[in-house]
């Protein structure tokens, strides 16, 4: 299935370990480029996040934002180490007894001592696994969105290809008349000089000139490229680079046809053909 590179997805989960949410944004890019914004305590997951994104996506600039709030941090629950607090209080009294005019020790002084107050934190291994599970679900949503937009892009590209085939058929149907008209104009211009020129040499020169304006090979290649684009769209997959290359080749053939044209109708059809190719090329830039 053809996928777009533009999509957005967001997922949120909550449990005894806390509250977290993933927000993913992707836009077109030549290759897969993942940028992360994560809490410092979850930075250890960065490599695994990139690997997981690579399983689901081939191309695109992906912005991943993770927000996390632990359950303990949300409720403000603190644990007091009473044993350590008693030891500190007793030690303070003993020191007061040997000091002259010592300053009193307050409860806040005791609480500031490292280890007296502890914040309960959830098991980080559980949090890590929850973050990865939620990310995978969010990536699946992102891929679904990219596929939905990709299906629409495929329809638009198939319409452009049909328009190209119509322009191609118009040019091919006009070719015999174009060549005949060209030959007649050339003969008319050379009629006055025919007696002075060698007949065989004249025919040879006419053949060479006719070959220069003959666009049959370009039309054959153009048709082949269009059908290849349709085949790739039908096949699906991460074919953005292949389609981009085919658009370049289509544009090359259309330019050659336009430059060789000696007929107004053919020129107009070639210009229309180039417009369809450019429209298709713009859409292809957003395909994975």
In the predicted structure, residue 74 carries a pLDDT above the cut 50:
no
Torsion sign, CA atoms 66, 72, 74, 76: negative
| CA-to-CA separations, 139 to 47, 61, 149, in angstroms, rounded | 16, 14, 15
Domain locations in the chain? 7-73+122-147, 82-119, 152-284
Question: What's the CATH architecture for 7-73+122-147?
Answer: 2-Layer Sandwich (3.30)
Q: At what angle do helices 124-190 and 46-56 cross, to 10 degrees?
A: 40
* pLDDT confidence of residue 247: 96
In the predicted structure, residue 100 carries a pLDDT above the cut 80:
no
Alpha helices by DSSP H, the chain: 46-56, 71-75, 82-98, 107-111, 124-190, 199-213, 216-235, 240-260, 264-284
Write out pLDDT tens, residues 222-240.
999 999 999 999 998 889 9
Write out pLDDT tens, residues 112-171.
767 666 665 667 889 999 999 999 999 999 999 999 999 999 999 999 999 999 999 999
d(CA 188, CA 236): 54
* pLDDT confidence of residue 184: 72
In the predicted structure, residue 75 carries a pLDDT above the cut 50:
no
pTM (two decimals) = 0.73
End-to-end, the C-alpha distance of the chain in Å comes to 10
Residues near 237 by beta carbon (within 8 Å), at least 6 away in sequence: 1, 2
Domain 7-73+122-147 matches domain 152-284 at the CATH topology level? no
* Backbone phi, psi, residue 116, to 5°: -75, -45
* pLDDT confidence of residue 179: 73
In the predicted structure, residue 194 carries a pLDDT above the cut 70:
no
Question: Is residue 15 a contact partner of residue 130, using CB atoms and an 8 Å limit?
Answer: yes
In the predicted structure, residue 178 carries a pLDDT above the cut 60:
yes
DSSP letter assigned to residue 258: H
Looking at the DSSP assignment, which residues form a beta bridge with residue 68? Answer: 20
Largest CA distance in the chain: 136
d(CA 186, CA 210): 10
Q: At what angle do helices 199-213 and 124-190 cross, to 10 degrees?
A: 160
* pLDDT confidence of residue 110: 67
- 152-284 fold: Butyryl-CoA Dehydrogenase, subunit A; domain 3 (1.20.140)
* Least trusted range by pLDDT, from 31-45, 66-80, 131-145, 247-261: 66-80
Counting other chains too, the contacts that 131-135 makes at CB distance below 8 Å and 24 or more residues apart are 131/20, 131/22, 131/42, 131/45, 131/66, 131/68, 132/45, 132/48, 132/49, 132/52, 134/11, 134/13, 134/20, 134/21, 134/22, 135/22, 135/49, 135/52, 135/64, 135/66
Average predicted confidence (pLDDT) for the chain: 85
């Amino acid at each position: 299935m053809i996928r777009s590179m533009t999509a957005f997805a967001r997922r949120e989960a909550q449990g005894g370990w806390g509250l977290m949410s993933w927000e993913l944004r992707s836009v077109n890019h030549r290759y897969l480029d993942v940028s992360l914004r994560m809490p410092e305590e979850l930075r250890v997951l960065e490599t695994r996040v990139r690997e997981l994104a690579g399983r689901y996506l081939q191309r695109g600039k992906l912005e991943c934002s993770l927000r996390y709030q632990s359950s303990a941090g949300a409720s403000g629950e603190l644990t007091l180490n009473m044993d350590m607090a008693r030891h500190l209080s007793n030690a303070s009294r003993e020191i007061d007894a040997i000091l002259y005019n010592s300053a009193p020790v307050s409860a806040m002084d005791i609480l500031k001592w490292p280890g007296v107050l502890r914040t309960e934190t959830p098991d980080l291994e559980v949090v890590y696994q929850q973050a990865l599970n939620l990310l995978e679900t969010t990536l699946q949503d992102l891929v679904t969105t990219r596929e939905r937009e990709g299906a629409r892009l495929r329809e638009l590209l198939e319409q452009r290809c049909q328009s190209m085939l119509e322009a191609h058929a118009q040019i091919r149907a006009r070719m015999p008349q174009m060549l005949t008209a060209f030959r007649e104009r050339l003969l008319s211009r050379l009629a006055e000089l025919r007696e002075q020129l060698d007949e065989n040499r004249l025919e040879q020169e006419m053949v060479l000139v006719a070959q220069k304006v003959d666009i049959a090979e370009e039309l054959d290649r153009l048709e082949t490229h269009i059908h290849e684009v349709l085949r790739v769209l039908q096949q699906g997959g991460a074919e953005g680079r292949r389609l981009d290359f085919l658009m370049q080749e289509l544009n090359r053939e259309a330019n050659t046809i336009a430059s060789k044209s000696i007929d107004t109708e053919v020129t107009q059809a070639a210009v229309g053909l180039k417009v369809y190719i450019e429209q298709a090329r713009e859409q292809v830039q957003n395909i994975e």
